[in-house]
Amino acid sequence: MKRTITKIKGLTVNVEVVEVCQTDRSGGILCYVAAIYVQVHGNAEKTLVRKSRLPGTAASLKAEVRRDGIRAFASFKAIS
């Protein structure tokens, strides 16, 4: 099982994408889960805002942030 953590630093918030991937011997994906957390500067608490089962979530989020900037976070809402 491989776990990758991608951190995207922003002016007011930091975004952390935790990806967990399990593959079989031939390289096929058995399980993939990505959890996206937002942490406000000056606060130790992280808030889960989205879960995804689509491989490549961190890369697509980084591209979205580069393209749209802070507007990329407008669709994020805390998951209860």
- Structural tokens at position 60: 């697509």
pLDDT tens profile 37-79? 989 888 999 999 888 888 888 788 778 877 887 677 676 665 6
pTM: 0.76
pLDDT tens profile 2-44? 999 988 888 888 888 899 999 999 989 899 999 989 898 889 9
For residue 70, give the amino acid letter: I
